[in-house]
Amino acid sequence: METMKKLITTSCANYIDGKCLLFDRECPLISGGEYRGKKIPASDCSCTYFEKAVLPANKTLEAVYYGIDTVLNKKCKGCGKGFNSVSNKAMYCGDVCRKSANRNSHRKYNQKRAK
């Protein structure tokens, strides 16, 4: 998971030169861990510091981390479907809805003028 790795290497304050200062070994979220002699894949590892201090800054990766494909925190004003956006200004799920909404408001405007 390249993007997760990038977030850790660039944003985690405990990540120095591939090592985690908290665990005093390689970052388990990147290199994976070991528990009673059994290898644990990086995707199954967790880090409390990362969850609390690094992850909330990136909602998309937060969803990936917790195994949720998409956190639908917005409702599209065009089609009414839920969608995910980190931007507070986002009102539409995509360009298609934004454009058709603009077209509709134009049409209403023109109808009023025609009367």
Q: For Zn ion, what does the binding mask look like between residues 51 and 80, x meaning CB under 5 A?
A: -------------------------x-xx-
Instruction: Show contacts with Zn ion in window 75-94 (CB under 5 A).
Output: 76, 78-79, 93
Instruction: Rule CB under 5 A: say whether 97 interacts with Zn ion.
Output: yes
Q: Which is nearer to Zn ion, 40 or 96 (CB)?
A: 96
Q: Where are the beta strands (DSSP E) in the chain?
A: 15-16, 19-20, 25-26, 33-35, 38-40, 74-75, 82-83
For 83, residues 6+ apart whose C-beta sits below 8 A from its C-beta are 70, 72, 74, 75, 76, 90, 93, 94
Q: Which residues bind Zn ion (CB under 5 A)?
A: 76, 78-79, 93, 97
